[in-house]
Chain A
C-alpha cells in the first residue's frame, strides 16, 4: 500500500519534470537551442498565476487560462526580441544566454514577488483525497497526472492534426526547406517559445500546491534536463517517460536509500544513460556530415 502511494507521488513528481522537459524538447527540436531557463519560465508562470488567482481573486481555471496566455505572449516576445538574434551562433552562446536569462528571471521574481516562499491559494484539489481501497491518494497528485495526460494528448493532436502543428513539425525538421515552402519560420519559432511557455505555466500551476511558490523553483529545471536527456531530446513521449523515470526513482530513493541520494539519483541515472548512449536513449542525433 505504502509502495503504491509512493508510486503515485513519484509519478506526479515525474509528470512535472516531464512537462518542464517537454518545454526544452519543443524548443530544441524547433530551433536547436537548449533553453536553460525553462525551469525559470515555470517559476514565473506559477507566480503570474498566483497573482491572478491569489492577489486578484480570480477563479482557479480562469486564472490558469489568463496566466498561460500572459506567459505565451511573454515567451513569444522573449524569442522575437532576444533569442532570435543569436541564431547561427555556436550552441555555447545559447547555453550562456539562457542561463543568464534564468538568472534574470529569478531576480526579477524576487524583486516583484519577494524572496519568501509563498503558499498557493486553495485550488479545487486542495486537501482532498481519494480512498481507493485503503490507498489514500491525494487529489493534488492525481490532478498533476491527469493534467499531464491531457496536455500530452492535446499536444499530440495539435502536432498531427492542425495546420499550425504541421508547419511547426516541418520547420523543426528542415528550416530552410520549410522557409522555401512558404512557412514563416521566424514566426513559427516564436510560437514554439510561446507554446513551451504555456506548457511551463501549466506545469508550474499544477505543481504549485505541492512545491509552493518560490523564485528558486527554477532549479527544478536542472532535474528536468535529466528527464530530457534520458528521453533523448527527441520524442514527446520519450521525454514524458524520462520525467516519470526520474520522478519515481527520486521518490523511491528518498524512502529507501540513505539521505542525499534523493538529490542526485536523477543525475546518476542520466550520467549512466549518457555513458551507454552518448546521444540519449531515443536519439536520432548523429555525427556532422563532412
Chain B
C-alpha cells in the first residue's frame, strides 16, 4: 500500500462523520491570506483555508461574497493583490494560467463556458489538451503517432462518457443541448483533464431536485471512485450538507466561518449574513 493511498483512506470520511482535517497530514491545496481588489473594492480580503486530499470542501456565501473570485484566483484568471496559493506543496500564485490544468486543477464555470459550436466529443477531447503534446508538423501529416495518441485520448474520454452517462449526446453540438446536459458535459470536460483537484462553481444551480440529487451522487463518486478532491461553490445548503466535509462561509470577501456543515449552519455570523437579522 503506497503512502498516498494510506492518506486518502485516512481522510476520506463518510458524509455524516465529517471530521476536521488532521493537522499532521499535509494539505493538497492551501490558500494563505489571499486578497484581491478591483478598483479599491476588496472582492476577497485575507481569506485563508486549506483542503486535504480526498476532501469535499464547500464555499458558501451570499451573492457577491467573493466565491467565484476565489476560483478565478486559483485558475489564475485574476492576479491576487496579496497572499499565496499552494498546490501539492508548490507555490502556484504566479504561474502562467494555462499551466494550472497540467498541474492537476480543473474547473467548471458558473455560467457554463462550453465550446458552443463543437460536439460533446470534441469538447471532451479539448479537456484532454493538458495531457496532449501537440506537434504541429506531425499533426499536419497526421502521422501514425498522432493517430495512436488520438485513440488514447479517445479512450480516456470514453471512460468519462461512461462514468457520467453521456453516450447519447456524444455527437451532438453543445448549442442544441438542454441546460442540465450542458452542466454534465462541463463536468465531464473537467474530468477528462484527469485532475487531482476539481473546482465546481455552482454545480447544482438551475437544476431541478432530481438533477441535483444526481449531481450529489456524482460528486460522491468523483471523490470515492476517482479519488479526486473537490472544492465547490454552492447555494443549495441541502447539497452542501449532504456531500461536503467542511464548509467555508464568506461574506463581503471575508471569512465568516469554517468548519463542518452543521457548525457553519449554526454559526450566528452566518445566520446573520444570510437572514440579515440577529442570530437567535
Contact = CB atoms under 8 A, between A and B. Distances in A.
Contacts of A290: 68, 72, 77, 109-111, 113
Contacts of A287: 77
A285 to B, nearest CB: 14
Which label, helix, strand, loop or mixed, suits the secondary structure of the A interface? Answer: loop
A91 to B, nearest CB: 15
A290 B77 CA distance: 10
Which label, helix, strand, loop or mixed, suits the secondary structure of the B interface? Answer: loop
Interface residues of B, number: 7
A287 B111 CA distance: 15
* Interface residues on chain A, size class: under 10
Contacts of B68: 290
Nearest to B77: A290
Interface in B68-95: 68, 72, 77
A290 B70 CA distance: 12
A287 B109 CA distance: 15
A75 to B, nearest CB: 33
A36 B111 CA distance: 32
A287 B75 CA distance: 15
A287 B183 CA distance: 23
Contacts of B109: 290
Interface in B95-140: 109-111, 113
A279 to B, nearest CB: 15
A287 B77 CA distance: 10
A287 B113 CA distance: 14
B4 to A, nearest CB: 32
A170 B68 CA distance: 28
Nearest to A287: B77
Nearest to A286: B38
A287 B38 CA distance: 12
Nearest to A290: B109
Interface in B25-68: 68
Nearest to B111: A290
Nearest to B109: A290
Interface in A268-290: 287, 290
Contacts of B110: 290
A27 B218 CA distance: 48
Contacts of B113: 290
Interface in B165-181: none
8 contacts: A287-B77, A290-B68, A290-B72, A290-B77, A290-B109, A290-B110, A290-B111, A290-B113
Given A290-B109, A290-B110, A290-B111, 5 more contacts: A287-B77, A290-B68, A290-B72, A290-B77, A290-B113
Q: Top 3 nearest A-B pairs by Cβ distance?
A: A290-B109, A290-B113, A290-B72
